Amino acid sequence: MTDLKQRAARLLAGMALAGSGLLLGTGAIANEMTPEKKLQAASLAATCANCHGTNGVGVQGSAVTGLANLSVEYIKTNMIWFKTGQRPATVMHQLAKGYTDEQIDIIANYLGKKD
């Protein structure tokens, strides 16, 4: 049970760090990020893994789109559309409303296709 509590504490700390929105500027490239910024980006992107697969690599046979092969701009645009209700969805419109525009940028840059 202690291990579970430690993992939960680490997860909550990562979520708090991610939620701060202060550590990562827009358009940052993953390999130029500080360890803190990488943790923030990974924490935010981890919330996408349940549906879109680990690191945005889609789950084979799933109806849900993988994100790793989509452009950063496509992900950002669609997340904003979900957030504002311009794109209908069953779940994404609810989830997207919980992110700031900066967090959406972080997620898109972390998971989107790298050129």
Looking at residue 17, what is its pLDDT? 41
> Which helix or strand (DSSP H or E) is residue 35 part of?
helix 35-46
User: For residue range 70-86, what is the model confidence (pLDDT) as tens digits?
Assistant: 999 999 999 999 999 99
Q: Domain coordinates of the chain in residue numbers?
A: 2-111
Q: 72-75 contacts: CB < 8 A, separation 24 or more?
A: 72/108, 72/109, 72/112, 72/113, 73/108, 73/112, 74/112, 75/107, 75/108, 75/111, 75/112
| Residues above pLDDT 70, as percent of the chain | 73
Looking at residue 24, what is its pLDDT? 37
Looking at residue 83, what is its pLDDT? 97
User: For residue range 14-44, what is the model confidence (pLDDT) as tens digits?
Assistant: 444 444 333 333 344 445 779 999 999 999 9
**pTM to 2 decimal places:** 0.69
Q: CATH class for domain 2-111? A: mainly alpha
